[in-house]
């Protein structure tokens, strides 16, 4: 079925590129531009999410004191700079919502799914470029709507990012009317964007791999994005359905989750977490994929246990569907059901652990290059281990009954989402920046940003384990109302100060990102000496990516290959027969 | 073997030649199937919630034909199945290169599909008139009165006093199904226009097959809905 | 220009006839004086049969590759798991 004979003219390149500015950069169907569009949008939302975190931290560190500069906020949010409980609760809600849906998810899937998939599989673009464009431009109004929610009467949604019913279903409970509805509509619209995107990624990976790019020659970043896209495709519609029902309870008078006429609040929790658990794997799997690529590159060694890495990804993707109840141990759910969830949750630690050991195996004996992406990848591994270990505590129902809804959970989720996903994102952005923009980010700034971020991040989130164990609950506005929390005020203040320093350190990344775009060192095609297909085309690649369809001859991660003498890596497109002076024996496997 | 550099020379109803073996079907068909999987999950959320809520409802559920009009909907089900037949006949005509039949069957599908939606709208009107809204029974109208009286109703036992869940689940499930049918009709109109422009040939009628898949899916969902909402 | 082999089309009208007959059967079963459980089981059976006929014949799955069929079937257990597990909650 495959033809390895003559490379075929990419029919995209056959036509001269006479697109207008708008077609090239605004309403572009080019996956690389769409990826960058998602990048800019997501980084903006990451900043907004971070600012909301500062508001939360201020109130917890200095309860009821006026926020410095807080007088710019309207009276409805913070009169005299003192954060109102209602605004605090919506800040908590929106920090989670924005970070999960508008920052991390699009950064991992929208940006790198779009940018990397065609490039790393040897395709000229996505399977459906116009649907790809639609996917971005549908996400934009969703984002605008979500921001608009802050400015409506009654404030923004305040029922937590998990929006439990009946709190979220009846405005009488939160006092929030339009805000909650905007939250619902925004997520429904964003859901459509995600579904269109995931359909595109899946189809592209299945049907558009270049000749020679067999399934087991795919880089782990692509495997991870592929499995993630399947999770998105199947989980997001469940959220969409649930949010629609929630919205209907609010505006149409239905009773899905309102007990008065027979509705079931627990139904919301089941539906939400049936989506929500695959969602958290959506938020980590691509990061794991990027880390595999970067670690292998930095260690100049093939990934240890490539096949088991693939099977582990598949196992996590599959098991992730049957653990959702572990978010609900405290809900009053059926105890037998709860036990089965405890078992499945314990099981899912196994494939994750396999991946960690394989990363360590990759590093062992490697000739490590400590470039900035490598540092972030190393941080990912260590911080993910910590986050994963706290997860084992939570998997045990008797333990979770004690620590559920405390800061122990907040510590866990930030260790995996920040210590894991966000470090991987920083690493991935730095790693693929040259391919995106044709310039290198400044490495010195990158290293300083990394060190500061790593230090302050741990100072912020590690103490939260302690807070949680001592009973500090989540989402609380004023801990000082409880006597048993008063001694924790000092720790809260310490965390707050570290958090402000952490936020400030991100200015370095922002500066590096923006300035390097215009003044960064011009990037060659393969600045990291990597084996992937994307490095065989200029930085940035032309429309259509290659003049002719590339042919793949090697597995990924052929670093330190005995077949090459002049360099320490063997690109995936390199045919062994084409290397002069080699014996003809030894075909690519 | 056709030289694949001129993409349109080859049979577009097969997977692209210059790639690894993927699904074994051409990309647009694969894409639509994958999209339909997401739709399966979406309807699972709605229909699954209906099943869960119905099992959990302590004071029972109305019997078939007490609230909903089974005869009219049965005819409407038949109508939708007819549109599925005209759709598949359109596809067969396209594969045969028969432009006249293709146009005929596509127009038929549009009209019959629109009829289905029309009958649904009529049904909704009737229900609201009798007093069933998403929130349940409307006080003072027929259904609310019948439920309050506790008397046997329309060949079945007394109506449960609260129609809240009945209304919620009915309107949401059938409403979103109707929405999907409407979107299908709109897309079908676009496909029909393209057919009239002669855009579909025997070697490339991907658009017809792909909209057909969506249309049959929508019919399939209705087959399930009709059974579990109207007949059980 | 390649010639397209004219495959014989399946008998769509026969499938249509089958769907019509099954629908009539469903209407009959729904109003039979049997136990609720029996009626529900029969109706589900009939509905699934109809759905399969649409999927296999109208959507051409009968003639598609095993690969595609596997891809399509694979997520269905997830839907079942959600509904079955949550129904346990409320029994």
Can you give the residue range of the structural domain that contains C87?
Answer: 65-91
Q: What is the rounded CA–CA span in Å between residue C43 and residue B232? A: 8
pLDDT of residue B7: 46
Average pLDDT, chain A: 94
* DSSP per-residue codes, A64-128: TSPPTTGGGS-TTT-GGGPPPHHHHHHHHHHHHHIIIIIIIHIIIIIIHHHHHHHHHHT-SS-S-
Q: What is the CATH number of the domain that holds B198?
A: 1.20.120.80
Residue B10 confidence class, pLDDT cut points 50, 70, 90: low
Q: Looking at CA atoms only, how far is residue C4 from chain A in angstroms?
A: 19
Answer yes or no: do C54 and C73 share one domain: no
**CB contact at 8 A, A118 and A207:** no
Task: Specify whether C49 is located in the same domain as C71.
Answer: no
The verdict on A549 touching B (C-beta cutoff 8 Å) is: yes
Q: How confident is the model at residue A558 (pLDDT cuts 50, 70, 90)?
A: very high
Residue pair A462/A405 in contact by the 8 Å Cβ criterion: no
Among B18, B162, B171, the residue with its CB nearest the CB of A262 is B162
Tell me whether residue B18 is in a domain: no
Judged by CB atoms closer than 8 Å, whether chains meet at C89 and A337 is answered as yes
Q: Do A266 and C89 touch (CB under 8 A)?
A: yes
Asked if C82's CB is within 8 angstroms of B48's CB, the reply is yes
For residue B7, being part of any structural domain is answered with no
- As a whole number of angstroms, the distance between CA A576 and CA A553 comes to 8
The pLDDT of residue A16 = 64
Task: Please count the structural domains in chain C.
Answer: 2
> Burial letters for B32-52: b for 16+ Cβ neighbours within 10 Å, e otherwise?
bbbbbbbbbbbbbbbbbbbbb
Q: Same domain, yes or no, for C78 and C36?
A: no
Q: What backbone phi and psi angles, to 5 degrees, belong to A569?
A: -145, 155
- How does pLDDT run across B204-219, given as a tens digit for each residue? 999 999 999 999 999 9
Sign of torsion over alpha carbons B176, B181, B185, B188: positive
Q: Considering only the beta carbons, identify the residue of C16, C20, C64 that sits closest to B25.
A: C64
Query: Is the pLDDT confidence value at A1 over 50?
Result: no
Does C82 contact A at CB distance below 8 Å? yes
Please tell me whether residues C2 and C41 are part of one structural domain: yes
Question: Are the Cβ atoms of C88 and A274 closer than 8 angstroms?
Answer: no
Q: Identify whether B17 is part of a domain.
A: no
Average pLDDT over residues A243-272: 95
Higher pLDDT, A182 or B21: A182
Residue B6 is predicted with a pLDDT of 45
C33 in the same domain as C8: yes
Closest residue in chain B to residue C29, using alpha carbons only: B231
Q: Tell me: the pLDDT tens digits for A27-81?
A: 999 999 999 999 999 999 999 999 999 999 999 999 999 999 989 999 999 999 9
Partner chains of B (3+ C-beta pairs under 8 Å): A, C
Task: Inspect the interface and report whether the beta carbons of C68 and B23 lie closer than 8 Å.
Answer: yes
- What one-character-per-residue DSSP string does A314-326 give? HHHHHHGGG-GGG
Q: What is the pLDDT of residues A301-351, one digit of tens each?
A: 999 999 999 999 999 999 999 999 999 999 988 888 899 999 999 999 999
Lowest average pLDDT, out of A288-297, A394-403, A421-430, A495-504, goes to A394-403
Query: Does the A28-570 domain belong in CATH 3.40.1350.10?
Result: no
**ipTM value of the model?**
0.94
Find chain C residues with C-beta within 8 A of B23's C-beta.
Answer: 65, 67-68, 71
- A336/C contact by beta carbon, under 8 A: yes
Q: DSSP assignment, residue A441?
A: P
The structural domains of chain A, with segments of one domain joined by +, span 28-570
Helix boundaries (H) for A421-476: 423-437, 443-469
Query: Same domain, yes or no, for C55 and C86?
Result: no
Same domain, C86 and C72: yes
Residue A310 neighbours by CB under 8 Å, 6+ apart: A216, A220, A223
Distance from CA of C3 to the nearest CA of A (A): 20
Residue B22 placed within a domain: no
Give the N- to C-terminal CA distance of chain A in Å, as an integer.
Answer: 18
Instruction: Determine the residue of chain C that is closest to A237 in CA distance.
Output: C79
C87 in A contact zone (CB under 8 Å): no
Provide the residue range defining the domain that includes B35: 27-231
């Amino acid at each position: 079925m495959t033809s390895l004979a003559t490379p075929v003219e990419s029919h995209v390149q056959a036509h001269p590129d006479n697109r207008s500015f708008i077609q090239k950069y605004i309403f572009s169907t080019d996956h690389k531009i769409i990826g960058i569009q998602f990048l800019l949008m997501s980084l903006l939302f990451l900043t907004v999410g971070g600012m909301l975190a500062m508001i939360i931290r201020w109130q917890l560190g200095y309860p009821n004191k006026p926020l410095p500069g807080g007088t710019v906020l309207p009276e409805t949010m913070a009169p005299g700079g003192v954060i109102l409980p209602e605004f605090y609760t919506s800040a908590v809600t929106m920090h989670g919502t924005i970070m999960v849906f508008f920052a991390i998810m699009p950064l991992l899937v929208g940006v790198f799914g779009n940018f990397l998939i065609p490039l790393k599989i040897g395709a000229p673009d996505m399977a459906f470029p116009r649907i790809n464009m639609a996917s971005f431009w549908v996400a934009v109004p969703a984002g605008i709507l979500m921001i608009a929610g802050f400015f409506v009467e009654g404030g923004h949604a305040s029922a937590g990012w998990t929006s439990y019913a009946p709190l979220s279903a009846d405005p009488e409970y939160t006092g929030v009317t339009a805000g909650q509805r905007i939250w619902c509509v925004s997520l429904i619209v964003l859901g459509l964007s995600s579904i269109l995107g995931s359909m595109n990624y899946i189809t592209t990976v299945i049907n558009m791999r270049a000749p020679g790019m067999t399934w087991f020659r795919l880089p782990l970043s692509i495997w991870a994005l592929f499995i993630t896209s399947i999770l998105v495709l199947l989980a997001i519609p469940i959220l969409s359905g649930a949010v629609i029902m929630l919205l209907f309870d609010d505006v149409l008078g239905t009773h899905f989750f309102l007990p008065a006429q027979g509705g079931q609040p627990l139904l919301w929790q089941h539906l939400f977490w049936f989506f929500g658990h695959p969602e958290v794997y959506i938020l980590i799997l691509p990061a794991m994929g990027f880390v595999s690529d970067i670690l292998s590159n930095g260690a100049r060694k093939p990934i240890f246990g490539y096949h088991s890495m693939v099977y582990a990804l598949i196992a996590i993707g599959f098991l992730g569907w049957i653990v959702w109840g572990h978010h609900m141990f405290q809900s009053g759910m059926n105890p037998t059901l709860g036990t089965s969830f405890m078992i499945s949750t314990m099981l899912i630690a196994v494939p994750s652990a396999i991946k960690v050991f394989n990363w360590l195996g990759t590093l062992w004996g490697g000739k490590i290059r400590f470039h900035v992406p490598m540092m972030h990848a190393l941080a990912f591994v260590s911080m993910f281990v910590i986050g994963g270990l706290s997860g084992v505590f939570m998997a045990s129902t008797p333990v979770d009954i004690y620590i559920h809804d405390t800061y122990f959970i907040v510590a866990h989720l930030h260790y995996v989402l920040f210590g894991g996903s966000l470090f991987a994102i920083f690493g991935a952005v730095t790693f693929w920046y040259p391919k995106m923009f044709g310039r290198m980010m400044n490495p010195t700034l990158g290293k300083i940003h990394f060190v500061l971020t790593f230090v302050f991040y741990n100072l912020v989130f590690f103490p939260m384990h302690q807070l949680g164990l001592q009973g500090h609950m989540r989402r609380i506005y004023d801990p000082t109302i409880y006597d048993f929390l008063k001694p924790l005020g000092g720790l809260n203040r310490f965390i707050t100060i570290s958090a402000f320093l952490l936020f400030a350190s991100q200015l370095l990344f922002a500066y590096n990102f923006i300035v390097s775009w215009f003044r960064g060192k011009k990037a060659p095609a393969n600045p990291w000496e990597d084996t992937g297909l994307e490095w065989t085309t200029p930085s940035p690649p032309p429309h259509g990516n290659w003049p002719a369809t590339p042919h793949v001859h090697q597995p990924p991660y052929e670093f330190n290959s005995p077949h090459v003498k002049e360099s320490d890596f063997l690109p995936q497109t390199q045919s062994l027969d084409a290397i002069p002076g080699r014996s003809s024996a030894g075909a690519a496997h | 073997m056709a030289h694949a550099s001129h993409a349109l020379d080859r049979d577009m109803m097969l997977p692209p030649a210059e790639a690894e073996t993927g699904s074994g079907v051409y990309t647009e068909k694969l894409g639509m199937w994958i999209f339909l999987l997401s739709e399966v999950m979406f309807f699972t959320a709605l229909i699954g919630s209906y099943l869960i809520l119905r099992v959990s409802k302590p004071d029972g559920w109305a019997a078939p034909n007490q609230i909903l009009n089974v005869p009219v909907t049965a005819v409407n089900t038949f109508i939708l199945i007819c549109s599925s037949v005209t759709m598949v006949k359109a596809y067969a005509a396209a594969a045969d290169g028969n432009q006249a039949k293709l146009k005929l069957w596509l127009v038929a599908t549009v009209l019959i599909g629109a009829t289905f939606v029309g009958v649904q709208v009529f049904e909704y009107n009737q229900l609201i008139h009798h007093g069933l809204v998403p929130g349940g029974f409307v006080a003072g109208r027929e259904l609310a009165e019948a439920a309050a009286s506790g008397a046997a109703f329309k060949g079945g036992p007394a109506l449960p006093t609260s129609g809240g869940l009945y209304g919620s689940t009915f309107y949401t499930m059938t409403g979103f199904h109707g929405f999907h049918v409407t979107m299908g009709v709109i897309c079908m109109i676009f496909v029909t226009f393209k057919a009239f422009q002669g855009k579909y040939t025997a070697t490339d009628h991907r658009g017809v097959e792909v909209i057909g898949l969506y249309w049959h899916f929508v019919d399939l969902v209705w087959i399930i809905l009709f059974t579990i909402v109207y007949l059980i | 220009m390649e010639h397209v082999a004219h495959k014989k089309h399946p008998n769509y009208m026969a499938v249509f006839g089958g769907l019509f007959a099954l629908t009539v059967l469903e209407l009959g079963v729904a109003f039979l004086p049997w136990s609720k459980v029996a009626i529900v089981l029969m109706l589900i059976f009939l509905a699934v049969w109809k759905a399969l006929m649409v999927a296999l014949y109208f959507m051409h799955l009968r003639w598609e590759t095993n690969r595609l069929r596997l891809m399509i079937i694979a997520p269905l257990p997830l839907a079942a798991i959600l509904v079955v597990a949550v129904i346990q909650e409320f029994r």
